Amino acid sequence: MPQGGAIAMPYETLNLTTTAPVLSWANHELGSQEIKMAKNVASLPFVFKHVALMPDVHLGKGALVGSVIATQDAIIPAAVGVDIGCGMCAIKTPFTATQLEGKLKKIRQDIEAVIPVGFNENKTVEKTVSNWQRWADFKQLHPGIQDLQVKAMRQMGSLGGGNHFIEICLDTEDQVWVMLHSGSRNIGNKLAQCHISTGKELAKLANNKLPDPDLAYFVAGTPEFDAYWHDLQWAQNYARVNREVMMARVQRIVEQYLAGGKLTKPLLSVNCHHNYAEKETHYGEAVYVTRKGAVRARAGDYGIIPGSMGAKSYIVQGKGNAESYCSCSHGAGRLMSRTKAKGVYSLDDLIQQTEGVECRKDAGVLDEIPGAYKPIEQVMANQADLVEVVATLKQVVCIKG
């Protein structure tokens, strides 16, 4: 059991015959496909100690979204995923709710005008982006992406699509927050695909019988491992800076409307990945920790756990729970696929479920309807031993990718 005092919802050890146990904070029965995916990962010989499943766990590619996988001397590119470094950024501003009155639509329109969404990119490259020191390393990245530097530069400071978003929120004290969700854009996707392909080719050549081809891995000390690890760190840095560039733009817009353009300092800033891998020490051993849809939650670490475009979100601090590899969930987690959501819900449902939020209310975002996600309150209750809530937020403006 997790260390510390009394807990609301401890994990359970799944009844599986695997090399490593699987600990789940989901507090619900996993489906047959989810069980199979968990077994596949936990059966790999290099998995360390156990696999941890977060409360928002659901199907992914190769590994479950919402899983934390510690490995010794190996890394699985598809477990990290194709949106390397995807994560969240939030700032607590010095402004209050009354200052927003009558300005929400204009703020939303101005944000949409300066931050490209979907597949779009910036028309010009701003100085903050062109001055990023890590562009000097671009030529050392995988040969398969060498013609993408200009695109990567133009996409830095862009949101992307799917469940990526920018929100203006209020906390329970009516303080204004800005929050956004994005990752490493096309360049991270392409880098991931290149290395995933290499991993699968190596597995075939070695006649390595994997439970799932998407669990192809690299062994530490090999050129392939070193190349992937180098590119992974670069893409994770890109993702973090991408969020910083967008946040600076949104902050300036908010300042224009709420402070007459006067520069302000955030009262709190958080920027955290939830699709990434790092080398960490757990149980006294140096291991590679892959968080696929999970946030690092060491004691005192700030994290962000968003709901959906009509639900609450949470700023949290980690409790350093060892069994979770000091991790927590990255959101509510999908309850149904995008296709199913479009079949189940109507535009009227979307309008009803996003009442009071200044946002798009059209067929293009129907798959992001709040009803397609798990109830965020339950997800939070299931990880009371992993994090404590610092602030509870509710959006008043939402821009979807």
Tens-place pLDDT, residues 201-216: 999 999 988 999 999 9
pLDDT in tens, 284-312: 999 999 999 999 999 999 999 999 998 99
pLDDT given at position 3: 42
Q: Alpha helix (H) ranges present in 180-325?
A: 185-205, 223-258
Name the more confident of 230 and 27. Answer: 230
Whether the predicted pLDDT of 4 surpasses 90 = no
pLDDT given at position 1: 38
pLDDT in tens, 103-116: 999 999 999 999 99
Radius of gyration of the chain (CA): 21
Instruction: Spell out the domains of the chain, with CATH numbers in brackets.
Output: 12-335+373-400 (3.90.1860.10)
Q: In Å, how far from its chain's centre is CA 344?
A: 26
Q: What is the residue-averaged pLDDT of the chain?
A: 95
pLDDT given at position 8: 45
CB atoms within 10 A of CB 216: 23
Percent of the chain with pLDDT over 70: 98
pLDDT given at position 78: 96
Q: How does residue 335 score in pLDDT terms, banded at 50, 70 and 90?
A: confident
Active site residue 181: no
203, with CB counted inside 10 A (0-12, 13-18, 19+), is middle
Whether the predicted pLDDT of 360 surpasses 80 = yes
Mean pLDDT of 318-342: 94
Q: Which of 50, 164, 195, 330 is catalytic?
A: 330
Q: In Å, how far from its chain's centre is CA 384?
A: 20
pLDDT given at position 6: 43
Mean pLDDT of 129-149: 98
Parallel/antiparallel/unpaired status of strands 47-58 and 22-24? parallel
pLDDT given at position 50: 98
Q: Write b or e for each residue in 49-76: b if 16 or more Cβ atoms lie within 10 A of its Cβ, otherwise e.
A: bbbbbbbbbbbbbbbbbbbbbbbeebbb
Parallel/antiparallel/unpaired status of strands 65-71 and 87-96? unpaired
Across the chain, how many H-helices and E-strands are there?
10, 18
pLDDT given at position 9: 46
- Kindly report which listed range (3-7, 96-100, 227-231, 277-281) carries the lowest average pLDDT score: 3-7
Q: Write b or e for each residue in 344-366: b if 16 or more Cβ atoms lie within 10 A of its Cβ, otherwise e.
A: ebeeeebeebbeebbbbbeeebb
pLDDT given at position 7: 44
Whether the predicted pLDDT of 5 surpasses 80 = no
pLDDT in tens, 50-68: 999 999 999 999 999 999 9
Whether the predicted pLDDT of 190 surpasses 90 = yes
Whether the predicted pLDDT of 29 surpasses 90 = no
Whether the predicted pLDDT of 2 surpasses 50 = no
Whether the predicted pLDDT of 328 surpasses 90 = yes
